[in-house]
Amino acid sequence: MAKSLALWLALVRARGPAVPTDLPPPPEGQGALVWLRPGPGAGPAGLALLAAKLRRARPDLRLMVTADPALDPGQMEGVDFPPGTLLLPAPPERTGPVAAFLDRYRPALMVFTGTALPVATLAALHDRSTPVVYADAVMTMDHWRRWRWHSSLAAALLDRCAVILVQDADSARRLRRLAGYALPIEVTGAIESALDPLPANEAEREALALLLRARPVWFAAGTTAEDEEAILAAHARASQYAHRMLLILAPADPARGPEIAAAAAARDWQVALRSRDEEPEPEVQVFVADAEGETGLWYRLAPVSFMAGTFGAGTPAARSPLEPAALGSAILHGPAHGAHSALYARLAAAGAARQVAAEEALAEALVDLIAADRAALLAHAAWSVSSGGAGAAEDVLHAVLARLPAPAGADLKGAA
C-alpha cells in the first residue's frame, strides 16, 4: 500500500498523548472481540441488527459498541444490543487516546458506519493488521463535493478498509470517482431497512384479536408525558366519528403505566391496565400496555400506529418506524423525526407513511385510515420499504464472519 502524504499530515494534526481514563474491562469471554462503531449520518439500529445476527451465528463472539461524540445522544435510546455487549464512548480521534483504547480492548475487527472517516482509528487499526468493514456506506453529492478537495486523504483512508459495503449504486460510483476504481466496494442496500420483526406470543395475539374483532383500533408506540395529552385529545376527537374506537397506549417507560391510566380515567375514559392483567373489554376506550417486550404484539393488532415523540414535544422519537412497517401497521407520525429522519424520508418517498402536524390532524388521519382498505394500502407500501433491503444485514454478516478468526477449538479441516 502506497504511503500518503495527506494521511501523514492528518495524523500529525491528530497527534495527542493518551489521556488517562477509567476504561471498563473488556467483555468477558475468550472469543474474538468485534467493535461496532456507528458514526454521524447513520443511526445505530442497523448495527444492533448486525450484532444480533453475529451473536446467533457465533455465540463465542464478544461485542463492543462505541458512540461517536458527533452522534445525538438520543440516537442510542431504544436501541437494543445483545446481552453482554459493552457500550461506551468512542475514543477521541487523537493518536494517543486511540492507541490506548486499542491496547485496552484489542478488537479482532471493526465495523463502522456513517459519513465520517475516522483518521486516527483507521490508521491505527491498519498498522495493527486489524481488518475494518465499512458498512452501510452512503456518499451523497454534497458529501462528494466536500470530500473531493481532500481526495488523496479519502483514498488513503478508504484503502485501509478490507471491504466497503454501500447502500446504493450512486454511492459506489461517487466513492470510486473520489478514491479510485480499485476500491473493494459492494452494493448491499441499507442495513436499517432490514430490521427483524419484533416478536409476539401468537396465542396471545389470537385471543386478543378475537376480543377486539370489529373494533377500530390504533396504537401509540413509545409515548412520553410530553405527547400523551395530544394523543388522548386526538383519540377523543376521532372517537366522535369512529364509535367504539380503542387506543392502545404503550409508554416508553412502562413504570408510568398506573400514572397514565389514572390520568385517562380522570378524563372519564374507561381504562384498562395491562400490568394489572386487565383486558381491553368492549367498554374499554384506552388500554395502557405497560408490560415489557410486547410492542410487536400491539403492532400486529392495530391497523394504524402513531410513532410517539414525533410532535417534537421535548423527547426525540426513539422507536424506528420500520417496526410497524414490518408488521403490517400503517404509520402516522409528526414532523420531528429525531434519529430516524432518513427512514421517514424513505417512507415518505414511497407513500408509505402519513405525517400529521398536531392533534387535530392526527384525529382526522385516524378517522380516514381506520377504514381497513386505506390503512392496508399504506401498510403495504411501508412493508415494501421495510423488506426491500432484507439481504443487506446478511451481506454485512458474511463480510464480517469471513474476516474473523475461527472460534477456539473449531475443526478447520471440514472448512477447507
pLDDT at res. 125: 97
pLDDT at res. 140: 83
Instruction: Say if residue 284 is in the same domain as residue 249.
Output: yes
Instruction: Say if residue 185 is in the same domain as residue 289.
Output: no
Would the pLDDT of 373 be above 80?
A: no
Each residue of 12-36: pLDDT tens digit?
888 877 665 688 999 999 999 999 9
Instruction: Say if residue 181 is in the same domain as residue 316.
Output: no
* Residue 315 backbone class (left: φ over 0; alpha: ψ -120 to 50; beta: rest): beta
Q: What total of structural domains would you count in the chain?
A: 2
- Residue 153 one-letter amino acid: L
Indicate whether 50 belongs to any domain: yes
Would the pLDDT of 416 be above 50?
A: no
Indicate whether 381 belongs to any domain: yes
Indicate whether 2 belongs to any domain: no
Label residue 372 by pLDDT band (50, 70, 90).
low
pLDDT at res. 74: 52
CA distance 67 to 400: 20
Instruction: Say if residue 104 is in the same domain as residue 215.
Output: no
Label residue 55 by pLDDT band (50, 70, 90).
very high
Indicate whether 196 belongs to any domain: no
Instruction: Say if residue 321 is in the same domain as residue 383.
Output: yes
pLDDT at res. 76: 60
pLDDT at res. 1: 55
pLDDT at res. 341: 75
Each residue of 77-86: pLDDT tens digit?
557 789 999 9
Instruction: Say if residue 347 is in the same domain as residue 226.
Output: yes
Would the pLDDT of 387 be above 60?
A: yes
Would the pLDDT of 409 be above 80?
A: no
Share of the chain above pLDDT 90, in %: 56
Per-residue HEC secondary structure of the chain comes to CCCCHHHHHHHHHCCCCCCCCCCCCCCCCCCCEEEEECCCCCCCHHHHHHHHHHHHHCCCCEEEEEECCCCCHHHHCCCCCCCCCEEEECCCCCHHHHHHHHHHHCCCEEEECCCCCCHHHHHHHHHCCCCEEEEEECCCHHHHHHHHHHHHHHHHHHCCCCEEEECCHHHHHHHHHHHCCCCCEEECCCHHHHCCCCCCCHHHHHHHHHHCCCCCEEEEEEECHHHHHHHHHHHHHHHCCCCCCEEEEEECCHHHHHHHHHHHHHCCCCEEEHHHCCCCCCCCCEEECCCCCCHHHHHHHCCEEEECCCCCCCCCCCCCCHHHHCCCCEEEECCCCHHHHHHHHHHHHCCCCEECCCHHHHHHHHHHHCCHHHHHHHHHHHHHHHHCCCCHHHHHHHHHHCCCCCCCCCCCHHHC
Indicate whether 410 belongs to any domain: no
Would the pLDDT of 185 be above 50?
A: yes
Each residue of 304-355: pLDDT tens digit?
999 999 987 555 556 889 899 989 999 999 998 876 777 787 788 788 899 9
Instruction: Say if residue 224 is in the same domain as residue 169.
Output: no
Instruction: Say if residue 156 is in the same domain as residue 179.
Output: yes
pLDDT at res. 338: 75
Residues 6+ apart with CB under 8 A from 190: 46, 136, 167, 389, 392
Instruction: Say if residue 347 is in the same domain as residue 383.
Output: yes
Global pTM reads: 0.63
Each residue of 119-167: pLDDT tens digit?
999 999 999 999 999 998 888 888 888 888 888 999 999 999 999 999 8
Indicate whether 137 belongs to any domain: yes
- Give me the mean pLDDT over the 209-219 stretch: 94
Q: Is residue 208 a contact partner of residue 301, using CB atoms and an 8 Å limit?
A: yes
Determine the Cα angle at 410 with ends 406 and 413, to 5°. Answer: 95
- In angstroms, the Cα distances linking 96 to 92, 130, 160, 291 are 9, 18, 19, 46
- Residue 224 one-letter amino acid: T
Cell numbers representing residue 342 in the block: 432518513
Residue 168 maps to which CATH number? 3.40.50.2000
pLDDT at res. 192: 66
Indicate whether 183 belongs to any domain: yes
Label residue 197 by pLDDT band (50, 70, 90).
confident
Cell numbers representing residue 320 in the block: 424506528
Half-sphere exposure of 311 (CA within 13 A, CB side): 22
Would the pLDDT of 396 be above 70?
A: yes
Domain range holding 152?
Answer: 16-190+390-405
Instruction: Say if residue 363 is in the same domain as residue 398.
Output: no
Would the pLDDT of 413 be above 50?
A: no
Poorest-pLDDT segment among 161-175, 278-292, 333-347:
333-347
Instruction: Say if residue 142 is in the same domain as residue 224.
Output: no
Indicate whether 364 belongs to any domain: yes
Instruction: Say if residue 106 is in the same domain as residue 244.
Output: no
Would the pLDDT of 73 be above 60?
A: no
